[in-house]
Amino acid sequence: PSGAEPATKIVINLERLQQLPAEKVGPLARYAATIQSQRGDYNGKVLSIRTEDLRSLAIIYDMTPGELTEQLIDWGVLPPEARPAKED
């Protein structure tokens, strides 16, 4: 099917992230916590990150950015709307 396209707007659901086992989401959870710390922003239920950060995370997870987007949607960390519409 379709998919495997990188997300265009990356808005992480922090509550969902905390519910998932650390062995799955550990690197992502640490990355998100670091960004929160750098911004001094601890109050949100969601965290917007840079497109560039998705590329870095994809390297860490040994996936393409599009595959990682699909994985994050599967986990409920990204909403299905994060999946870019295919133009075909």
Give me the residues that bind ligand C2E (CB under 6 A), please: 35, 38-39, 48-51, 53
Q: Which is closer to ligand C2E, CB of 43 or CB of 88? A: 43
Per-position b or e across 36-64, b if 16+ CB within 10 A of its CB: eeeeeeeeeeebebeeebbeebbeebeee
3-state secondary structure of 2: coil
Taking CB positions, which residue lies at the least distance from ligand C2E? 38
Beta carbon of residue 41, minimum distance to ligand C2E (angstroms, whole number): 6
Beta carbon of residue 51, minimum distance to ligand C2E (angstroms, whole number): 4
